[in-house]
Amino acid sequence: MSHVLIAPDKFKGSLSAPQVAAHVAAGLRRAVSGIDVREVPIADGGDGTLDAALAAGFERVPVTASGPTGEPVATGYARRGDTAVVELADVSGLARLPGRRVPLTATSYGTGEVIRAALDDGCRTIVLGLGGSACTDGGAGMAAALGMRLLDAHGDELGPGGAALALLDTVDPTGLHPGLAGAEIVVASDVDNPLLGEHGAAAVYGPQKGASAAQVERLDAALARWVEVLGAQDVATRAGAGAAGGVGFAALALLGAVMRPGIEYLLDLVGFHDHLADASLVVTGEGSLDEQTLRGKAPAGVAAAARAAGVPVVAVAGRCLLPDEALTAAGFAGACALTDLEPDPRRSVAEAGPLLERLAEQRLAAIIDIETPVEETR
């Protein structure tokens, strides 16, 4: 029996992906009695990756780790069997620094602590979701938490953050966690930037983390020193090395990680394709459907997978900035947005849940050619 598969990403700043899926499902069930809907929240490796894994049946394992400025934060990883999903954004992300930015000293140390906890717990496949980071430290903090010593010319340990790498003289990898030798590390990311230069981690993403033009140059030079000491120039040029402020680089160069497109890997991880097999329609979406959506973001990945399976896909969003022709080219049969019902962006964010249910009940039902007896009301 066919069903409607609801597979959205989060609406950033208002609803998690599981909440989006639940509201869409509630609206459709009100519109059509007995409709079969399945909720499979998804993510692309950035913030929301843990939520997607937990919704797919993984178990949350709590961990207390260091935030971007070293303060302890309550975080964790998602586990199923010997596979652990670690979301960098949840421990080392900008969301941990509300209203402030520390681009020179923010560290990925906490991400390494979560990986270490998963290895200590016997996990042998570590899925590292990269995105939304607060740091530009090239993954040096993560490496330090996993046992690598980073020393200056006096033999002293470096301080936290990317800027400190300018003083790096030697590294001592002998203390790296022994569990890494038998573990598979998979990096899930939608970023294809190299580590250094005008398209690198500091230049492209540093300003989002509060870095001035001068600080971007300083961070890029410090990252270049990190590459030089490690002798990993070839890795620094690889697509994805610049992910999460260069954590992608450290994962590739030091942990032997395999890089996978975030959305493709996460779709496999949460069993999306199993639910797609007998679906009659897929509903996906995110907070803003725009040009960034088309560059490897979760809804575009869902649309590509659905189109390959011959299943129509429609999108819901907080706002839709894509013209019809762009939506069609990306594989979407249609799209509707909360702004269709509430043009005030502040109210749209504040009342996203109820609005999303109305959108599904009224506009989405019409798009998918479901006759709804519910009258549209304001």
Per-residue pLDDT reduced to its tens digit, 114-158: 999 999 999 999 999 998 999 999 999 999 999 999 999 999 999
| Residue 371 pLDDT level (bands cut at 50, 70, 90) | very low
pLDDT of residue 375: 38
CATH number, domain containing residue 53: 3.90.1510.10
In the chain, which ranges are E strands? Answer: 3-6, 37-39, 59-66, 72-80, 83-87, 125-129, 149-151, 170-172, 184-189, 258-261, 279-289, 313-320, 334-337
Does residue 376 form part of some domain?
Answer: no
Does residue 373 form part of some domain?
Answer: no
Does residue 375 form part of some domain?
Answer: no
Are residues 232 and 299 both part of a single domain? no
Are residues 179 and 318 both part of a single domain? no
Host domain of residue 236: 49-263
pTM of the model: 0.91
Does residue 143 form part of some domain?
Answer: yes
Domain boundary among 237, 263, 289: 263
pLDDT of residue 32: 87
pLDDT-wise least confident of 31-35, 64-68, 100-104, 242-246: 31-35
Are residues 341 and 211 both part of a single domain? no
pLDDT for 268 beyond 80: yes
Tens digits of per-residue pLDDT, 193-242?
999 999 999 999 999 999 999 999 999 999 999 999 999 999 999 999 99
Are residues 222 and 239 both part of a single domain? yes
Are residues 78 and 189 both part of a single domain? yes
Tens digits of per-residue pLDDT, 346-359?
999 999 999 999 99
Does residue 372 form part of some domain?
Answer: no
CATH number, domain containing residue 28: 3.40.50.10350
Domain boundary among 207, 228, 263: 263
Are residues 76 and 139 both part of a single domain? yes
CA–CA distance, 87 with 90 (Å, rounded to integer): 6
Does residue 378 form part of some domain?
Answer: no
pLDDT-wise least confident of 77-86, 104-113, 201-210, 289-298: 289-298
Are residues 192 and 328 both part of a single domain? no
Are residues 193 and 276 both part of a single domain? no
pLDDT for 376 beyond 60: no
Are residues 105 and 25 both part of a single domain? no
Does residue 186 form part of some domain?
Answer: yes
Are residues 338 and 356 both part of a single domain? yes
pLDDT for 378 beyond 60: no
Does residue 357 form part of some domain?
Answer: yes
Domain boundary among 201, 233, 263: 263
Are residues 38 and 62 both part of a single domain? no
Are residues 115 and 218 both part of a single domain? yes
Total domains in the chain come to: 2
Tens digits of per-residue pLDDT, 17-59?
999 999 999 999 999 888 999 999 999 888 899 999 999 999 9
Give the per-residue SS3 of the chain: CCEEEECCCCECCCECHHHHHHHHHHHHHHHCCCCCEEECCCCCCCCCHHHHHHHCCCEEEEEEEECCCCCEEEEEEEEECCEEEEEHHHHHEHHHCCCCCCCCCCCCHHHHHHHHHHHHCCCCEEEEECCCECCCCCCHHHHHHCCCEEECCCCCECCCCCHHHHHCCEEEHHHCCHHHHHCEEEEEECCCCCCCCCCCHHHHHCHHHCCCHHHHHHHHHHHHHHHHHHCCHHHHCCCCCCHHHHHHHHHHHHCCCEEEEHHHHHHHHCCHHHHHCCEEEEEEEEEEECHHHHCCCHHHHHHHHHHHCCCCEEEEEEEECCCHHHHHHCCCCEEEEHHHCCCCHHHHHHCHHHHHHHHHHHHHHHHCCCCCCCCCCC
CA–CA distance, 305 with 324 (Å, rounded to integer): 20
